[in-house]
Structure 1
Amino acid sequence: MPTALPHLPTSRLLLRALQMDQAEVLYRLANGPKIADNTANIPSPYTLQTAQDFITGIAEKYRAGEVLNLGMHVQATGELIGMVSLRLNARHHAGHLGGWVAAHARNQGYAAEAASAVMDFGFATLGLQRVGSQCFGRNKASARVMQKIGLHYEGCLREAFFKNGVYEDLLTFASVRSDWERAL
């Protein structure tokens, strides 16, 4: 596995690790509407200290083979609009996609563009056999993103996640290497 964090350009985005001077922006965006509500691990409220700790750990967690976390930056302006991640499982040669887009940048295809680039990196560069993801059953936008990038619906894990006092259904999607190769 490469030890240097990648910079992944797409048609409209540059996916790259965050720098500490972006902590304020990350803090502001991650506190946006629906971010914590639609994700499994983002706390609410999201504090400046949480943002700083997250940025500090990006390189170390990638070098340890745990997770690739990249900021979604609009190429034309450099503006940070969200995060995309690939949580790695070296034993099973698998990755789990995650991410979020700031409220003002939603419904413009950025999530699919970023997730597709990270999925390609996982298969092509990291040699993964499987890339998957999950979303809450009520999160139809995330389910559409997963299908748009070629992940196949595998099923619903009923009431599998306890969030904010409610048992949530998890929709599961994935592609294996042969699916990805056929789509090239």
Structure 2
Amino acid sequence: MQLIKTDRLIIRPFQMTDHDALQAMLLDPQVVAYLRYRALKTPTEFDDSFKTHFLADTTTTFALENRATHALVGFYEFHPEQTTGILTYALTPAAWGHGYIAEAGAALMAYGFETLGFEEIQAHYADANPNSGRVMAKMGMHDMGELETFTLDNGTTIRVMAYNLMKNDWQAAQPSQAM
């Protein structure tokens, strides 16, 4: 993957120098409360995932770097399922509320449809985190409603909500290129 630059971000493959910042993010229960990465509990578990997933997968897993400070502020990834890419993303708490995911999403929707060949991109979020749903809508995605329900270890019931964007809808929304 080539670097993708947006107004405030550099979207790039992970590097060894991202280890500590990503570890702090993924071992923070507040960040991963509703993510698949909440299963990572120790630095050793994180190290394995960092080596076998974040460093190894340069096609569908991306570091989000702040262009001004060069700090890692989050990640964004696609989990391919046939012709669908399912998004996962997270930010450090200091980066919440700054619009970084929607900014990265605009660039990565193009990458997912044009480079990875997805016909559909989906994103799922826990109803306890409605801000994620709002971000998905800002990225042009459409509300699909409830996907499933599960119960956390602490007994809290979570409804998983889904958004999607079809390639033809994304293409229709792109500004036309003058010839």
CA contact (8 A) 2:101 2:135 kept: yes
Q: 2:162 aligns with which of 147, 150, 172?
A: 172
Structure 2 residues not aligned, in runs of 5+: 175-179
Correspondence 1:55 to 2:50: yes
Structure 1 residues not aligned, in runs of 5+: none
Map of 1:162 onto structure 2: 151
Deviation at 1:111, TM superposition (A): 1.3
Quick one: which amino acid aligns to residue 162 of structure 1?
T
Structure 2 distance, partners of 1:6, 1:167, is 40
Q: Which secondary structure does the structure 2 equivalent of 1:41 belong to?
A: helix
Q: 2:38 aligns with which of 42, 45, 49?
A: 42
Aligned pairs for 1:113-128 (under 5 A) are 113-128=103-118
TM-score (norm 1): 0.84
Structure 2 distance, partners of 1:18, 1:61, is 9
Map of 1:88 onto structure 2: 80
What RMSD, in angstroms, separates the aligned Cα atoms of the two structures?
1.9
Quick one: which amino acid aligns to residue 129 of structure 2?
N
Once the two structures are overlaid, the 10-residue window that deviates more, 77-86 or 28-37, is 28-37
Structure 1 distance, partners of 2:14, 2:56, is 13
TM-score (norm 2): 0.86
Give the number of aligned pairs: 172
CA contact (8 A) 1:7 1:16 kept: yes
Aligned pairs for 1:27-38 (under 5 A) are 27-32=23-28, 34-38=30-34
Deviation string for 1:66-117 (max 9, x for gaps)? xx1111100122100111111112x3x1100111111111100011112222
Map of 1:16 onto structure 2: 12
CA contact (8 A) 2:122 2:164 kept: yes
Structure 2 distance, partners of 1:54, 1:40, is 12
